[in-house]
Structure 1
Amino acid sequence: MGAVGVVDVVNLQDSRRISILLGVLFGLTGMGSASAAIAVPLLAEDLETTVGLGTWTITLYALMLAVATPIYGRVADLVGVRLPLMVGVGLMTAGAVLSAAAPSFEALLVARVIQGAGAAAIPTLGVTVLSARYDGPVRGLALGRLAGVAAALSCLGPLLGGLVEAQLGWRAVMALPIFGLLILPFVWRALHGGGTRAKLDIVGAVLVAGTSAGLVLLIQSPSTGWIVALAGVLLLVLGVPAVTMQVRRRPQGFLPHEVITNSVVIRSAIAAAAVPAAWFGILIAVPAVMIGHGWEAWEVGLLLAPSAVVGLVVPRIAGPFLNKYGAARALAFAGVNAAVSMLVASIGAENESAWALAVAVLFTTISFGVGQPALMASVGDAVHVDVRGVALGVATLLFLVGGSVGSAVVGGLGDVYGMPRSLLVLAVLPVLGIVALVPMLRSAAPAVR
């Protein structure tokens, strides 16, 4: 074998090891929502609140994942990946411990905010490492493997959470993400430490966080009342023009002008956001429906466990699919799949069909396994390397805001209009995403023929 061939093999082996480890770390952030979702009906009863309000533990976690993600991406551009990833994993661990020890529902919500703020480091920095370390087909395979492992662990979250809850209670379920600390030593050498040392746009970060929070508060307000709805409206009305002004004032700030005016970045992120919306929505809906009809938490987890197998298989399909058909078509496929999964889930919730709900989770897993690496590949190729970290952060912000929107729709509308109708609302989002993709689909050509 020639020198080039040896290098390719070593590079492929290295990408496999690093992407799996980062996928496990990413999966633990997903488990922070997936395993916690199984416990929502149980913690709501124990802390004397409703299931609708209990879903705020998922919504706030997902929201912090979204709004803190670009901060980590920008910090990584400035100082490298090592420090922000270490800080993020530390905060995630602290939040998990505080969640397990929370004496009240209000304290639990604060702990979940801390946990989400820490976990936000992992999605962006994980893909930043892979995007910087590999290229071409190896990068596509690595990103697909990252998403697949993450999805598999997230799918196992309900089962693991149900088993842990049965033995140790819901508080132990909240502590599961602490195992992320064990992964850091094994990926440390792959994390680059250099950066540009530029200044961080704190004002821009706060404005984006507040505007994103306004959207989620408004969507989930049906379960919480008019005060939350008013707060959401005010944050949106004030936040959108303020963010616009900040971008004009600081074109190289938190939201670089060249990134947010890049149509590929924005269209790809909007289309991909429907995938986590479906994912977070169904993770809340399935336990709520089945536990409400007498199932134990571990039984619900067992019902969803086959999707973990699908999550492991998807990378073998996602990588070649992405390389052959390109990111735009992969995103369109993920969107169609997400819409179908929500329709099936709605039917399952209406008819109390465990099998239909399990099939819907399988479809959603496929969408996540294809859509997330397609988004990262699309954005990574569309921007200059100097702003790749922040571009991936902005894309992941929109991607994960979709997750908080999904949980907000189910939590906000589920109690008022029922789970089947709330899932139908989520089925509309992928259709809107595909509409946003149309210009890209028209001009797209397969990456490899």
Structure 2
Amino acid sequence: MSGRSTRWAVFSLALSSLLAALGTSIANVALPNLALVFHTSFQQIQWVLLAYLLAITSVIVSIGSLGDLLGRRRLLLTGLALFTLASGLCASASSLGLLIFSRALQGLAAAVMMALSMALVAETVPKEKSGSAMGLLGSMSALGTALGPSLGGLLLAQFGWQALFWVQMPLGFLSLLLATRFLPLDGTRLKTDSTQFDPLGSLLLALTLGSFSLAMTIGRGNFGVSNVALLLLSLVGLQLFIQAERKARSPLLRLALFRDYRLSAGLTMSSLVSSVVMASLVIGPFYLSGALDLDITTVGLVMACGPIVAALVGVPAGSLVDRYGTQSISVAGLLFMGTGCLAMVLLPIALGVPAYLLSLAFITAGYAAFQAANNTAVMARARAEQSGLISGMLNLSRNLGLIIGASLMAAVFAFGAATQNLLLATPAALVRGLHMSFAFATALIFIALLIACVSHALRKK
């Protein structure tokens, strides 16, 4: 490929990464508005976000194997086409059910775009330039996450909620055109045991996560018999998933790897901290608009500050990891997150937006530092032939945390507010909900710190 064609190919992959990240964050700011439009509860409207996350989490580990079977370029083009179509379906949805279904389709496509964009860099870019190309993809993904709330707030205020999805269609179509034109054709691939797809594992994972999410979101804040039944169903699903993975020829998760306590610790901590960050993205719109009485444009701008801080801290944090080691920066990041969560609980509401921004900055800066250190530590445990698998497990653990944050943490928020309709909740009730949810988040960060310390002690021994 010529230099010009390579640059355009990389741009198409970077745009794919941006779109997948944008899909995660752009709808969050609209959750209160969507609850009004569709005359539904906070618990039900969460599924606009959960459907997207569940779809990604259920298949993202399998996408690499599917790409080997079907061709990475072909599968990426299919994903881009599906994402573009699903964006249009979201924008034209006439009911909440149709919107949730369309968001699930968007999530399936986003999983393809996330997983294959990085894989295709190695086939497209010369080895000596792959680092800068990977950096561009990471920056575009961070930009998409940061752009979502601010762009979503502006579009929602000016054009209505449909504009949040209409805007993704031309971007998806542009990425599809560029990828079709400039990505190299798929070569012949050898089919090995590692390129087998695990449909049963993917299905059981989706059913398990779906049951857990339903248990956390039905009942309008009241935890009753149906919630308990769904929670038990998710535990049964987890057991069936583990049994299926033990017997699968090419499992989603190689359970034997969890015998490495440092790998297990890293993946567990990744889930815990991701749940805290996602909680701020779900709870934020309701608290900022309901308790602080901000207009939707300002809500979007305030929410965008968190991802922006994380993007700015990410690169320096990587340098600090190289200088001081993974353990020190992991613990420092967790301490920053814990400080931010405590500030959410203790700072008085009279301080308003500045207090919220300060707390959010500590949480997201700590998250960026922790992720840089933890990802480095986890990947250092992987042999060359396991790097793709370990990377997939990191993605899975992060997405599991996002689902926990969007369901369990949001349920704690609704319980703390002690109301069946958050749209009608008083500012005092929303403040109680915020305090309870971030007190719970502080406990999760403390557990992560405990895991980090125990893991370090075992390593020294």
Q: Deviations over 1:343-385 (max 9, x none)?
A: 2334468557211222233234324434445454444332344
| 1:91 partnered with 2:82 | yes
The TM-score normalised by the length of structure 1 is 0.82
Counterpart in the other structure of 1:425? 440
| 1:30 partnered with 2:21 | yes
| 1:203 partnered with 2:200 | yes
Counterpart in the other structure of 1:291? 289
CA shift, 1:398, in A, is 1.5
Counterpart in the other structure of 2:154? 163
Contact 1:220 1:412 in 2 (8 A): yes
The one-letter amino acid paired with 1:167 is: Q
The one-letter amino acid paired with 2:59 is: A
Counterpart secondary structure, 1:253 = coil
Counterpart in the other structure of 2:267? 269
Counterpart in the other structure of 2:40? 49
Counterpart secondary structure, 2:61 = helix
Higher mean C-alpha deviation, range 76-85 or range 134-143: 134-143
Counterpart secondary structure, 2:397 = helix
CA shift, 1:214, in A, is 3.1
Q: Structure 2 vs 1, CA of residues 383 and 116 (structure 1 numbering), >3 Å: closer, same or farther?
A: same
Contact 2:88 2:166 in 1 (8 A): yes
Counterpart in the other structure of 1:321? 320
Distance 2:299 2:359 in 1: 14
Distance 2:126 2:149 in 1: 34
Distance 1:260 1:66 in 2: 19
The one-letter amino acid paired with 1:174 is: F
| 1:108 partnered with 2:105 | no
Q: Deviations over 1:228-248 (max 9, x none)?
A: 524532332312221222232
1:99-248 maps to which residues of 2 (within 5 A)? Answer: 99-128=90-119, 146-178=137-169, 179-183=171-175, 185=178, 189=183, 194=189, 196-197=191-192, 198-221=195-218, 223=220, 226=224, 229-248=227-246
Counterpart in the other structure of 1:279? 277
- Which residues of structure 1 form unaligned runs of 5+? 1-13
Distance 1:427 1:191 in 2: 49
CA shift, 1:208, in A, is 2.1
Counterpart secondary structure, 2:252 = coil
Q: Deviations over 1:45-93 (max 9, x none)?
A: 0111123422221122222222222121442455564344333333333
Q: Deviations over 1:241-284 (max 9, x none)?
A: 21222232236422224444443433212111233212221112
Q: Structure 1 vs Structure 2: percent identity of aligned residues?
A: 22
Counterpart in the other structure of 1:406? 405
Contact 2:42 2:220 in 1 (8 A): no
CA shift, 1:406, in A, is 0.7
The one-letter amino acid paired with 2:437 is: S
Q: RMSD of aligned C-alpha atoms?
A: 3.8
Distance 1:424 1:134 in 2: 46
Counterpart in the other structure of 1:60? 51
Q: Deviations over 1:107-150 (max 9, x none)?
A: 11111111122212344444555789999999888766654543
Distance 2:443 2:68 in 1: 35
The TM-score normalised by the length of structure 2 is 0.80
Higher mean C-alpha deviation, range 347-356 or range 182-191: 182-191
Distance 1:427 1:122 in 2: 33
If you compute each CA radius of gyration, which structure gives the higher value, 1 or 2?
2
Q: Structure 2 vs 1, CA of residues 370 and 238 (structure 1 numbering), >3 Å: closer, same or farther?
A: same
Counterpart in the other structure of 2:392? 393
Distance 1:436 1:254 in 2: 25
Distance 1:201 1:316 in 2: 36
Contact 1:124 1:392 in 2 (8 A): no
The one-letter amino acid paired with 1:210 is: L
Q: Structure 2 vs 1, CA of residues 135 and 186 (structure 1 numbering), >3 Å: closer, same or farther?
A: closer
Q: Structure 2 vs 1, CA of residues 343 and 51 (structure 1 numbering), >3 Å: closer, same or farther?
A: same
Distance 1:267 1:344 in 2: 26
| 1:365 partnered with 2:380 | no
